[in-house]
Every structure is written in structure tokens, then in C-alpha cells.
Amino acid sequence: MQKYRMSRGINQAIINGILQGYKNYIEERKAKREEMHISTAYSWVKGNHIDHQTAEECKEFGIGFKKAKAGYAWGYLQFDIDTGPSMFIIKNGKYFDEENFTRRKGMPRENTDPERETYLKRLSHINNNVAFPEEPSLFTTAQKKEYLTLFDDEQLEEPQARELEEKFNHFYIITYEIDEAFAISKIRMLMPNPQDNQAYEIEDLSEYIATSTVIFEEDDYEILIEDGFDAPQSPAAADYGIVHQEELFKDDEEEG
């Protein structure tokens, strides 16, 4: 899978964005705690800070982005790279199950709707032609037809379903993990396989944390340690298909 790796410059820019976004998130948590009697709801904004700062850090490499939705409540950024062309999103690794990326980690299987594809499953079809380790066979015509019928209840036309597949060749998920000391200690680049629902590691990017220009001090984490918890990146499980996904492919305003 090494041939699917990105350049060191892009890798460093992504890591810088994730770290700077996390640092900005912590600073906002500190500020709001001082300003407000209750401010725990700000624990939900971490993902927005990380996406925003990653977009800023990646500008110099010509990486653009588009706003997207997972369900009704959760917005995120889809990043696009001309070379490839490729697309990636960023996820909190604590809730990402690489053995079955269609379900949130720890979510009981019976709580998912097998007839509805989550937004991650839909995006993973970009990788239909990727040579994964097991060398899965490509979709047959019959399988492709079956895949498209899954969208019938949402009245999604075939051209819409194939739009992202035609635009991009590769789809990545960048995951970050927060350790017990509330520091980001691991960042990985994964590629989801739509045929077995597993996300395969392309590269462990953790080494770029040490070479980042973003520096954390020990007292940066005090607010998180004192609160004693870190909220999920997205409310409830909207991004894993528990709520309807009608607006997933709705056109959003281009931001980059």
C-alpha cells in the first residue's frame, strides 16, 4: 500500500493542521470556562477547529475543501488533492472502528440499519479500483446495480451516486488519537475498502508530531484534565447512519 502514500510535505501540513486545531480548541475551552458559568458544550467543537486549521495549513499545497454533512446535525470538511486525484477527511480515532468503518467503535451491531449506507460507506466506493492487500475483485455489473439501488429510498439518481467516484481515485481517512494525558499522540492515514468494510493503514504519521512547529506546554491540557472528559467528535452517532443522510450529497458552497 506504500504507493498510495502522500508526500512528506502534505503529511506535515496535515499534522500541523490537526495539532494547531487541537491547540486552538483547548484555548477556546479555557476562554469560555472563564467567561461563562457553564461551558461544557464547547467540548463538541474540537472537530470544527481541527478541520478549519487543517484547511489553512494545507493551502500552500493547493489542497482545497468543501463543506459536507453527515446527517442533519454534523458538518465536516472534505479535503481534495489534485494529484491522484484524492480526497480525505479527518476523524477522531477513539470512535473509529477500522475493522468495520461503517459502525462507530463500541456501537452494538443491532443499533445499525443494514439497509442504509453510512456516509463513510458511500465515500469508500471511491476506492473501488484500489488494489488492497487481499486483492479483492472489482464490482461486477450486477453488484454495481445492487449498490445503486440502496439509494432509491432517498431518490438519489445514478449520476449523483457516481459523482464522487468519477471525481476522485482515492479516498483516505486521517485518524488522530488522544492519550490519557489528553495529548494527541498518534495520527494515521487509512484507506477504507468498500468490499470488506475494513480500513487499511497506508502510513503511520505519528513521527510528524515531533517535527511539527506546533508546540504544547503541560499546562495546555489542564482544562481537559480538570473537566475529566473529552466529548466525541460528533454528536450522538449521526455520522454513522443512525439518522437519515438525505443531505449528504446536497451541493454545498465551495470554500476552497
pTM surpassing 0.85?
Answer: no
* Mean pLDDT in residue range 37-59: 92
* Mean pLDDT in residue range 17-29: 96
Considering only residues 189 and 122, tell me which one the structure prediction assigns the higher pLDDT. Answer: 189
Mean pLDDT of the chain: 80
- For residue 73, give the nearest of 95, 52, 48 by alpha carbon: 48
All structural domains of the chain with their residue ranges = 2-240
pLDDT at 1: 81
pLDDT, tens digit, 9 for 90 and up, residues 61-91: 999 999 988 766 678 999 999 888 999 999 9
